[in-house]
Amino acid sequence: MDAKERLAIPPQPMPEQPPAERIRNLKEVPLGYSPEAAMAEARRCVRCKRPFCTEGCPVGIDIPGFLEAVENGDFAAGIRIIRKRNALPAVCGRVCPQEQQCQLACTVGKFHHDPTRSVGIGRIERFLADWERTTGSQEIPEKAPPTGRRVAVVGSGPAGLTVAGDLILLGHEVTVFEALHRAGGVLVYGIPEFRLPKEIVRRETEYLQRLGVEFRMDSVVGRTYPMEEILEKYDSVFIGSGAGLPKFMGVPGENLLGVYSANEYLTRANLMKAYDFPANDTPIFRGRKIITVGGGNVAMDCARTALRMGAERSLIVYRRSEAELPARIEEVHHAKEEGVEFHLLEAPLGLIGDEKGWVRGMRIERMELGEPDSSGRRRPVPIKGSEFVEETDAVLVAIGNSPNPLIASSFPEIETSRWGGIVVNEATGQTSVKGVFAGGDIVLGAATVILAMGQGRIAARAMHAYMMTGRWDDLDRMVSAEGGAQ
């Protein structure tokens, strides 16, 4: 089949739950490709001489390689290729923003001048991971001989799991310390069941356990395990403690009852299973009309979760227009299908409460867009005299997060930025403390799963080099000479 024939193949649609059904359950919205659909979608790849898609992948997966394997029906080879670079394919196939990375670089989408016609790389990755799981075909790769080196990974989010998976295969002994009672970090407390089933995360972490990674739950490094003790017992340490400190609006009334940070709301609904009432009686407010403030993926998660928790109306208030929404196009599309109301070019001024201290309304000011600000997006400008009040039973604040402050507060030797993130050498993940590396949201701020994994992969390579050579000051040059993160 030549390139012209491949370009003529239409994209394969992803089957989904109907909106009217899915807002009454927590099951996944996309249902996944069939083998036939996955093979047909893989045939759309034109086999570029230069794989721009791989260049757009933060962990450098051989995308043309696994697409060719799927086209030929060799699913075992396809998932084997992915797992060489990605320890969490079932996760990434569901929540990675492929349309902004590998699929944005896809030649097929560029040819059609339409990024939505790019090859569905993420959907095929998900198919392969699900095929591996449901058929029991998961392979355990061969590990390098034991090195005698011990590694501590602080945090079991995407960055930490990537470091653990890479270093266990290189022969090191790896222990992951997790503050919560379940592994996965933001994958289990932040992302709703209908986007990422917790069973998927559990299977991925079990795979790492089968490789030999040890997980210690309910272990707060900096409190139950002092950092000094960790440094004494382990040859290298990776800090991937995430960005779990919520940001608030700083408006009057934000301390009223019924006002949640997105972190608290989603943790109660997801990890603490408030969705499964009355089997799990987690305290959480179930209002009739709920307002979510923000426009990112977390805001979409909050607004869509509110509907599934019984809200009659779920509103998103966002100060810019739809063109500036940072959320994935797919998440915005699903939210609209489910009935989420988008109140764009509006910004909260304050919250109004009743005599019992419960939030009952939001004072809002309409906006218009001015010149671009430091983010590159057009700056929202208030319209004088446009203030009004929107009634509400609850408010969910989803305007971003700051790095987890616990490590920095208990480990003053480590250099941090003015916003609280750990400062690292971007080429290696090295911190200001010898033997300590960091990556993910604790460095980037709230970022994507795949970017956190990319940083984990960079750090793992540098940690291996450090433990095997003892070199620190010129580690970036040595890793670069060996091919960097690739």
**Fold classification of 248-399 (topology level):** FAD/NAD(P)-binding domain (3.50.50)
- Domain 3-135 matching CATH 1.10.1060.10: the answer reads yes
Tokens of 233: 């017992």
Helix axes 198-211, 158-169, angle to 10 degrees: 30
Q: Are 340 and 22 in contact (CB under 8 A)?
A: no
Flag whether pLDDT at 351 surpasses 70: yes
**Confidence band for 481, pLDDT divided at 50, 70 and 90:** low
pTM of the model: 0.90
Report the alpha-carbon distance of residue 259 to residue 72 in Å, rounded. 53
- Residue 223 φ/ψ, nearest 5 degrees: -130, -80
For residues 86 and 340, which has the higher predicted lDDT (pLDDT)? 340
Please work out, in degrees rounded to the nearest 5, the angle formed at the alpha carbon of residue 307 by the alpha carbons of 303 and 311: 110
Tokens of 199: 């069973």
Give the DSSP H/E element, type plus range, for residue 468: helix 449-469
Pairing of the two strands 173-177 and 245-246: unpaired
pLDDT given at position 486: 41
pLDDT in tens, 90-138: 999 999 889 888 999 999 999 999 988 999 999 999 999 999 999 988 8
Q: Which CATH class is domain 150-244+402-481?
A: alpha beta
pLDDT in tens, 179-237: 999 999 989 988 999 999 999 999 989 999 999 999 999 999 988 898 889 999 999 99
Q: Summarize the confidence of residues 49-73 as an average pLDDT.
A: 94
Q: Which residues of the chain are in CATH 1.10.1060.10 domains?
A: 3-135
Among 455, 463, 462, CA closest to 476? 462
For residues 2 and 275, which has the higher predicted lDDT (pLDDT)? 2
Q: Which residues of the chain are in CATH 3.50.50.60 domains?
A: 150-244+402-481, 248-399
Give the DSSP H/E element, type plus range, for residue 7: helix 3-7
DSSP alpha helix (H) spans, 338-429:
406-410
Do you find a cis peptide bond into 278, omega within 30 degrees of 0?
A: yes
434: three-class secondary structure by DSSP: coil
Flag whether pLDDT at 484 surpasses 60: no
Q: Are 197 and 29 in contact (CB under 8 A)?
A: no
Q: Which residues contact 233 (CB under 8 A, 6 or more apart)?
A: 150, 152
pLDDT given at position 469: 92
For residues 96 and 386, which has the higher predicted lDDT (pLDDT)? 386
pLDDT in tens, 418-476: 888 999 999 999 999 999 999 999 998 877 888 899 999 999 999 999 999 988 988 88
Q: Are 425 and 480 in contact (CB under 8 A)?
A: no
